[in-house]
Chain A
Amino acid sequence: MSETPVTLDDIAVLAVLADGIIPPDHRDGGAACVHAGPGIAERMRRSVFGFIYAHGLATARQLALSTFARPIAALQADEIHRLLGLLREHSPHFFRLLRADVCALYLSDAGVWQRLGFPGPSAEFGGHPDFAQPQTRRA
């Protein structure tokens, strides 16, 4: 299978967009805390859908220049948010793929689970025998 070429700038742009999908706040560092930029770049390189990423990144760069007259790396957080809104409209396949991959990385992290109140795998420990009881506490 042929791989999709990925540049250092691609990785940087993916990191910025991933942070826009799940931003840092008082709870954690957002997508950056799972190193989403390099992680998604690796998916882009190896995935059969790498071409969607390549097209999407090109669109993102064009939209940044045409909308803000600056490259993505120079945009502020609120401008990245607007850019993602444009990508959702103009490049829906890319937006959905990016959002799904950011989700997969961020929501597979045990630290994030703990903050969300999800205990993770349980089958080998007997599952959740209290499943039918009123739930009074987060996991």
Chain B
Amino acid sequence: MMWVRTMALMIAVPQTSPCAATPRRVEVVIIGAGPCGALMAQRLATAGVSVLVLEAGPRLDAARDLTNSEANAGRILWQEPRQFVGADFVTPKVGTGVGGGSLAWMGVMPRFSRSDFRTRSSEGVGEDWPIGYDDLRPYYAQIEHEIGVAGDCGPCVEEPYTLPMPAHPLNWHAQVLARGARALGARPFAPPIAINSQPRGGRPACVYCGYCGSGCPTNAKASGANTWLPQAEAAGARVIAGAFVERLRLNLAGDRLTGVDYLDQELRTHRVDADLVVLAANPMENTRLLLLSANAQAPDGVANSSGLVGRFFMSHPTWQVFGTFDEPINAFKGMQMGHVMVQDHHRPDPAADHARGYILLSYMMTPVTFGNLSGLSFGQEFKDTLYDYAHTAAWWAHAEGLPFADNAITLDTQLRDTRGLPVTRVTYAWGDNDVRVAAAARDRAAAMMAASGARTVRIGLNYGAHAMGGLRMGQDRTTSVVDSYGRSHDVRNLVIADSSVFVTGSGVNPTLTSLAITARAADHLIATRTKGSP
């Protein structure tokens, strides 16, 4: 404590005095205002829980701050340094700001299949989850209706389901891709996508401007910021933007958190006491915070008695496959991703040379992103590629990457951020199966592109899409970090609620499953709270 003289009074204030706007104590602190944090806040606040959401990034106004410009990436993507090492250059894109990753996402929302939760049992690879499709089915449906999903479930699902909005028409780009897919016997369809095909939820229908990845200025694309978060705030939740949580505070016994310390934009420290802390800040920052919070009670980091915090980090091995056509394609007209999808290979195939599976999605980008995903060419070859832009179609060949303990998130021992804190260090190498299944996806996409009539098929960048795992769920506290509800085995008032808890990554986009897991965790928290816990 330090003494401060104010007028004639002597008052005692903590050295980490919070500003007047910061609650000193709440029931639940949620770290991260992405879609999962927003959903958790909405669920808890509407149940009468006092909630504070702390978000490191800014709060943006879509119409003002997210007008069509690729430069928006500087606002909505995590720009702080991270160290990426290992045999492969895996640098998954991560969002920031109120809305988090859903500001920059493409909105594609397929469900996982049953076998996605049972990779060890079904194919002898990866690991089984402690939950399955049937546990998440009601939450999938809830989320699809709440956030607003357009499209069809497609011909490949084990259990057909309906979505609340009709599918978007295929843009011309998707029609060109679909004809090649059909020619090779695939069944292309308009997949579930959280972009309004008609006015819904107070948000307009999409105008197909083609800038989805730079943020949606009309709010036709759903995000945490234009769906659950306003509902949470209406129910009393507080959201503080520009609040970087630097430490979780652990009690002397090391089995409960007492709250968090965060830095505001002027690097002043604020302290908030809480009964429960929810981490929803993506695998890389969740893990970093647990490791940064190490102390005498938890010398290897909070919630890390297993030694597995940060391990089994995953991404999706992805290839970009381009085709150049004589005819104009103008693929920039439409949603950037997911007008059409091929899911025929997202299932175990005993005849294949790989385990697990993959999907293909239409994905055409605005010019800067096109240049970046076109590969690593340079010189005249690269310039010729760029000048094919208007005549280019593109498949996003997206495969499942399996979990490996050595693919890990740690703290870098040298590089520090502007706050003086060690940055995240990501060590990654694709496994043999990852390489094979991604190659199968790439080659299938290339064949379909040729069947569509492309005069040139070009293989673009091979990269890691999505960040998953690192704090995986399981029943055994020696082989997992959290239980099936995301609750830490070690610290019972700590919950992880996003893709960090994934055991495997499936071959499809992960956000719907992240949200379903979060909704299930929220239900559990509310149910246990009524019984007097936590």
Contacts and interface: CB of A to CB of B under 8 A. Distances in A.
Contacts of A1: 418
Given A103-B368, A128-B207, A135-B330, A95 B68 contact: no
B372 A100 contact: yes
29 contacts: A20-B379, A23-B380, A48-B81, A48-B418, A81-B379, A95-B376, A96-B376, A100-B371, A100-B372, A106-B371, A107-B367, A107-B371, A116-B387, A118-B367, A121-B67, A121-B69, A121-B209, A121-B211, A123-B67, A123-B207, A123-B211, A126-B207, A128-B332, A128-B333, A129-B208, A132-B334, A135-B333, A136-B327, A139-B332
Contacts, number: 140
B328 A138 contact: yes
Contacts of A95: 376
Interface residues of B, number: 48
A129 B334 CA distance: 9
Contacts of B329: 135
A122 B334 CA distance: 11
Contact of A122 (B81, B209, B380): B209
Interface in B362-377: 366-368, 370-372, 376
A27 to B, nearest CB: 7
A30 B383 CA distance: 8
A67 interface: no
Interface string B257-278: 0000000000000000000000
B368 A128 contact: no
Nearest to B376: A88
Interface residues of A, number: 49
Contacts of A115: 387
Interface in B57-83: 67-71, 79-81
Nearest to B386: A116
A104 interface: yes
B305 interface: no
Contacts of B378: 20-22, 81, 84, 88, 99
Contacts of A127: 206-210
Nearest to B66: A123
Per DSSP, are chain B's interface residues mostly helix, strand or loop, or mixed? loop
B199 interface: no
A93 B502 CA distance: 29
Contacts of A135: 172, 327-330, 333
A138 B390 contact: yes
Interface string B380-408: 10110011011100000000000000000
A124 B389 contact: no
A113 interface: yes
Given A123-B217, A124-B68, 11 more contacts: A21-B382, A30-B383, A48-B81, A88-B378, A92-B89, A116-B387, A117-B330, A121-B211, A123-B68, A136-B327, A136-B328
A107 B386 CA distance: 9
B299 interface: no
* Residue in B334, B370, B376, B378 whose Cβ sees the most chain A Cβ within 10 Å: B378
A124 B172 contact: no
A5 interface: no
B298 interface: no
A60 B417 CA distance: 27
Given A88-B376, A103-B371, A130-B333, A22 B210 contact: no
Contact of B379 (A27, A84, A122): A84
B210 A128 contact: yes
